[in-house]
Structure 1
Amino acid sequence: MMARGIWVIITCVVFASCTDTNILFTTDFEDQHIGESPGFPWTKIGRGIVVIDTTKSYSGNQSVHFTTGEGYEQGALIGIDHIFPLPKNSYYGSMYMYVQEASPDGIHWTMIQSSGKVPNQNFSSEIRYGGQHNKKLMANYDTKGVKSDCWQHSEEKIPEKKWFRVQWFFDGTQDHMKLWLDGTLIEAITVKKEGAGCVSDEIANQWKFPLIENVFLGWVDYQTGGGPREVWIDDVIISTKKL
């Protein structure tokens, strides 16, 4: 209990006042063990490698280093679920990322994801931000139990070889999502209820958001042929209001 208490104090000092009730979760990964995957409260999915290292960091000395391979199974995401569900079924997220080289043209990737069962429906859904065409950012929606896999593209490319800030908003009540890059709203991938199209269309092109159960961060490619990825993440904040 003593270690966790220290961790809370450190993260509050770095990011916000400990009395800020808008902050649901925050970490700079300084409390995690170098060379190991992030421990409590994180869960890892995918076969890619995830370790705490000191080669790059936005603040402090440590960040999370993701090394992923080709295809979905070789991706790597780390997530938390202990703060969910939320009273208004919505949250704002913020993190700093460093992408050595983004996935090439023809490879669809995800870097932010939340999921859960869709209220009053017999299927679950995943709401995601990532990219696809020539390293351009995109919003993505997929379902389990019915077929969908929907998209909305932007012309904004993900930065490479430098630290940048990503902020996002997922509103499960209004079926609404937004993403900011270094403080600028990428309006082309703001989605509310319906995107640009779907690979399959068993729910009439509608983006029916879930009762949000988690948030996962990292990198996963959905096709092979793109080579390995190296990504770092630091200074994660989940809150009820945009910071």
Structure 2
Amino acid sequence: MRISSAGCLATALAAWSLAACASHPAAPDPSPRLIDDFETYAVGRPPEGGPWRLYAVNGRAVIDDTRAASGRQSVRIDLAGKGGVFLFAEGGPLFPAARDAMSGRMKVWLQAGPAEDVHWTLIEGRGLRRSDGHTGLVRFGGQHPAPGGGSRLMSNYETPDGYADPAAPLSDCWAHAGESEAMPEGRWVDVAWRIGPQGLMLSLDGRAISGPDVVVLGQGCLHQPGTYVWEIPAMERVSIGWETYQPGAPRTLWIDDVRIGD
């Protein structure tokens, strides 16, 4: 949804600001629609037979019993370089009638983040924008190396239909956390998020991360001006895992104790 005038932008900002004040993005839904601790799946195989489907390019996801945040099992993801490995769930009881909001929480153990300046995604929400019916992607991940080590956190908004359809919007917008806000490595981290009309929220171990907490506008965009609105789509799918969009070193992480609601 491109803003065509300062008046439209002011109206959008005012409406979103009032909504944010009335209902600040908070903790994930206490009655989640999807809960998975990965204890019921066969070790050494993908988490088959549950709510998940697997997307894997240049990597794999299997049930592992060498590391767990609780119980005895988790999902281990190995990525060889550029590509992605995601577990995704969509439709049905998780997203009835394409909800406008989606929240979640999971435990993540990242062996080591990128030392290179590469864009990566850990969480993605997908759906259709109500204004024009085109796909909107809302992502949490990271990009730039942090001065103290690790990769800085960020949120990302993209409208990918524009790559194939010249009439569709094309964007690639970002909002970076501060230079010291890197994805923790070598330990279990509680990652919580919320995507909805009041904006985006990301927290680590219960601490809100500023920068990726976008309401209306991010910090900049490719293909669009800085006034391009992050229009939250009607949620139809959630993906968790790891994807990187430039060549990089191999990556290993574990995910456990997933809770997703709306």
TM-score grouping bracket, smaller chain normalisation = 0.7 to 0.9
Work out the CA distance in 2 between the residues paired with 1:227 and 1:166.
Answer: 23
Contact persistence 1:85–1:211 (CA under 8 A): no
Structure 2: how far apart are the matches of 1:103 and 1:75? 14
**What is the SS of the residue equivalent to 2:234?**
coil
CA distance in 2, matches of 1:85, 1:153: 31
The 1-side partners of 2:243 and 2:61 are apart by 12
d(CA) in 2 for partners of 1:142, 1:102: 23
Q: Tell me the equivalent position of 2:249.
A: 227
Tell me the equivalent position of 1:53.
64
Instruction: Report if aligned partners of 2:218, 2:226 keep a CA contact under 8 Å in 1.
Output: no
| Partner residue of 1:149 out of 172, 179, 186 | 172
Q: Deviations over 1:9-56 (max 9, x none)?
A: xxxxxxxxxxx9722111100011111111121011122210001111
Q: State, as a whole percentage, how many aligned pairs show the same letter.
A: 36
Q: Indicate if the aligned counterparts of 1:150 and 1:197 stay in contact, CA closer than 8 A.
A: yes
**1:96 partner SS:** strand
Would you say the 8 A contact 2:139–2:155 is kept in 1?
yes
AA at the equivalent of 1:207: W
Q: Which residue of 2 aligns with 1:44?
A: 54
Q: Distance in 2 between matches of 1:127 and 1:41?
A: 21
- Give the secondary structure class of the aligned counterpart of 2:249: coil
Q: Is the 8 A contact 1:147 1:202 kept in 2?
A: no
Cα shift readout 1:136-183 (whole Å, capped 9, x = no counterpart) = 000001112221000000120000011110000010x34x11100100
Match of 2:79 in 1: 68
Q: Which of these residues, 109, 112, 115, is aligned with residue 98 of structure 1?
A: 109
Equivalence for 1:167 = 192
Is the 1:85–1:212 Cα contact (8 Å) retained in structure 2? no
Whether the 8 Å CA contact 2:159–2:170 is kept in 1: the answer is yes
TM-align CA RMSD: 1.8
The answer to whether the Cα contact below 8 Å between 2:217 and 2:227 also exists between their aligned partners in 1 is no
Partner of 1:178: 201
For this pair of structures, how many residues does the alignment match? 216
TM-score of the aligned structures, taking structure 2 as reference length: 0.78
Q: Does 1:27 align with 2:43?
A: no
CA distance in 2, matches of 1:115, 1:63: 24
TM-score (norm 1): 0.84
Following the alignment from structure 1 to structure 2, what is the Cα–Cα distance between the partners of residues 201 and 69?
32
CA shift, 1:61, in A, is 0.4
1:133 Cα deviation from its structure 2 partner: 0.5
Please state how far the C-alpha of 1:120 moved relative to its aligned partner: 2.6
**CA shift for structure 1 position 86:** 5.8
For structure 1, which runs of at least 5 residues remain unmatched after alignment? Answer: 1-19
Whether the 8 Å CA contact 1:131–1:139 is kept in 2: the answer is: yes
CA distance in 2, matches of 1:97, 1:140: 19
Q: Select between 200-209 and 132-141 the one with higher mean Cα deviation.
A: 200-209
- What are the Cα deviations for residues 81-106 of structure 1, in whole angstroms up to 9, with x where unaligned? 13114675212200000000112231
Contact map agreement 1:148 1:202 (CA 8 A) in 2: no
Report the Cα distance in structure 2 between the residues aligned to 1:87 and 1:117, rounded to whole angstroms: 9
